[in-house]
Chain A
Amino acid sequence: MNSFSAEERLALRESVHRLLSKGSDERAVRATMDTPGGYDSKLWQELAGMGVVGLIVDEAHGGAGVGPMELELVMEEVGAALLCSPFLASSVLAAALLYGLADEELNDRLLPGIAEGSCIATAAVTGRNGCWTPDGVTVSGQEVDGEWRLDGCASFVVHGQSADVLLVLANTSQGFKCFVVESGAAGVGMTALPTFDHTLRLTEITFEGVKAEHVAAQIPAWDAVARAMDLTLVALAGEQAGAAQRCLSSTVEYAKTRIQFGRAIGSFQAVKHMAADLLLETESSISAARNAAASLAEDADGAAEAVSLAAFACADAFVATAATSIQMHGGIAFTWEHPAHLYLRRARADAQLFGSSSFHRERFIQALGA
């Protein structure tokens, strides 16, 4: 893994910031969220060109080979810009799952495409109850005459409809196993789910006797999923923290310029105190996300605690900031044209995508020994 200096991290962040401030401004986000695919392939190629799509893919497979700390920083920019892309699904969740499974032949085949953005991969883990726990898995695999076949349903698959390759977790008589399925394979049924966050794409995928390639995993498949989830949660925490911070700063700017009763509304303590409370939330979310990234990077003992803390602290901070931001703006933010609701929609989606805040609080207290 490549380790960046503090300066290199800032430079990486700055270059992502520059690209997204043009390529993913509000107009671009609104245009992209109305497309069926939900991402801008030209911007995706630009992100691939600067090494962001292959950020965590190692250099041998054409990526930048950086770790959780760099990923988290990039995600702060991704969240701030409300980027519409399969980055979290393909570049983070799927790539991390492949690393966890450690099937070298498979990685040689899939990772280069993932890194250059030409192959979009995603992971199909949970069923219709949306629980990221072993009992949430509702796809089963059977080995018949040396061939694996999958049946069942996976849901909440992020960017499933854009995916070329699916990494599917299935229950088998030998426990959980991971399988590779081409998205166009016979017996695969894809249904795009209508999402409250229009910048998100979720898919329900049905499997009817689908021929699947068994991954020769080096560790138990659920362990690989759990590891990939940890990295994905850190990335998501970064997105939430960055988005919350952007939300607050644009709201504070508005409160300085919006005049009522002859003075800026930000001079009223009723408004000012909301902003001060949100600053505590957003700064704490930045601290939590970066700490979780650092813990994962060190593979520290406290990683489970740090990741679950970041998961609910950042989720709650983003929801609170986006929600309060609408209240602080007043009527203007109740209009479709104002971007505040886009942040609230993303916040509410992010807060459920890989487990709710109460789910992660429970994980946190368990990590503390209770």
Chain B
Amino acid sequence: MSSENPVSDDVLREEVRGWLADNWIPEQAAAVGGTERIWGASDELKAWLGKVVEARWAVPSWPVEWFGRGLSASQAKIIIREFASVRAPGAGQDRSSMWANTLLARGTEPLKAKLLGPILKSEVDMCLLYSEPGAGSDLAGIRTRADLQGDHFVVNGQKVWTSGAAIADYGMLIARTDWDVPKHAGISFFFCPMKQPGIEVRPLRQITDESHFNEVFITDAIVPADNLLGGVNTGWKVLQTALAYERSILGDFARGARSGAKESRKEEVLIALAREAGVLEDPALRQEIAQAIAYKKLNSLNNARVKADLEQGTTSPAMSLGKLAMSRILHEEARVRTAILGAQSLFEGSDYPRAEDANFLTLNAYFTSIGGGTDQIQRNIIGERVLGLPKEPEVDTSIPFRDVRTS
């Protein structure tokens, strides 16, 4: 069970199949909640994940001392495939768990010993404490502060757009630990305990009238020094590690879109809606519907090409375009839905489900065009990292953070 004594693919496949045959009851799938990682795992899921972790299937490419088998990425995939084929959750967390991977890569030994197992078993819930009211697109402009006092840090500030904050046990937190150095150089990265008096979580009411996110008010919250990842003032680097894992997960979702495009032989929803509304013969609307569907299909085709390129070992610039494409798709679909409904879109409430859909989607499209980096930031990234255009001159990156202008 170590990388010095590699097992063959076939032996490994037999072992995992045998283990699943002995332990996994397919009827369990509904009880444990399928293969999706969800907030607040059920007891059944926790029990199952415990078994998976103890059997070293959760993170097979990790080292042996941390629940792994030291396997190659390709052998780890064999395990993912076997789990997926019987719809058993819990495998492949060495690819899918941003929390566990960030902790393994940058955490202190005591913190790893304390939390790696519980995270992999979903015994602890996590949230992200990154964005602030004054630091959205400019994330390195955070003003939440962490001050070392003896063996712990004292944290003060406000975070926002945190999902799952109310049930989370720990939050991955970035906070400023040095105000006299340039903004990227004075940030540290913590696992902040959430269940303490200094943490107050308030739901945030969105323009859709839903509440999927929270504001988190932090007042003299205590974070043990062991919960610092990567050392003081190197938080920006740790954050990049965490974001890279987050992106690779999003990438997995993007690549999944291909099969979605193929499977559906159902009528396109915009066509069905126009038919239902009796406006499918309107030539102007037909053009708009066709174009909106085209945006979606083109994005699926881009994703399929990216995937094929990756399999050939090459990369394509189309890789970085998915988010920008998706925001156009969502805004356009919502706009065309509204055009199909016409005056019906004036209404609200359960008596008007089509209007509810169109109006909700119109507002919710901003979730994608603002959240996770606005379209404008996305265009900067594409321009600079993909096309190689120079950055705008930055006025705040080489002066002490305390001298940076704020709103």
A residues sitting closer than 8 Å to B (CB atoms) are: 6, 252, 255-256, 263-264, 266-269, 271-273, 275-277, 279-280, 283-284, 286-288, 290-291, 309, 312-313, 358, 361-362, 364-365, 368-370
Contact = CB atoms under 8 A, between A and B. Distances in A.
Interface in B261-299: 267-268, 271, 274-275, 280, 283, 286-287, 289-291, 293-294, 297-299
B137 interface: no
State the majority secondary structure of interface residues on B: helix
Interface residues of B, number: 44
A287 B301 contact: yes
Given A267-B393, A276-B379, A276-B382, 14 more contacts: A252-B388, A266-B389, A266-B390, A272-B379, A275-B387, A279-B387, A288-B298, A291-B301, A291-B304, A361-B287, A365-B286, A365-B293, A370-B280, A370-B286
A278 to B, nearest CB: 9
Contact of A279 (B275, B280, B293, B317): B317
B325 interface: yes
A269 B305 contact: no
B10 interface: no
B388 A286 contact: no
Interface string B309-325: 00010001110010011
26 contacts: A252-B387, A263-B390, A264-B389, A266-B387, A266-B389, A269-B379, A272-B379, A272-B383, A273-B376, A273-B380, A273-B383, A276-B324, A276-B386, A276-B387, A279-B386, A280-B328, A283-B317, A287-B298, A288-B298, A361-B287, A361-B290, A362-B290, A364-B293, A369-B267, A370-B286, A370-B289
Nearest to B384: A272
A365 B274 CA distance: 12
Contacts of A252: 387-389
B389 A256 contact: yes
A275 B383 contact: yes
Q: By CB atoms of chain A within 10 A, which of B379, B389, B390 has the most?
A: B389
A276 B379 CA distance: 5
Contacts, number: 125
Given A6-B312, A279-B382, A288 B391 contact: no
A284 B297 CA distance: 9
Given A269-B380, A280-B321, A362 B287 contact: yes
Contact of A368 (B287, B291, B293, B390): B293
A268 B294 contact: no
Contacts of B390: 256, 263-264, 266-267
B305 A286 contact: yes
A362 B325 CA distance: 22
| 7 A-B pairs closest in CB distance | A272-B383, A266-B389, A276-B379, A287-B301, A276-B382, A284-B298, A361-B290
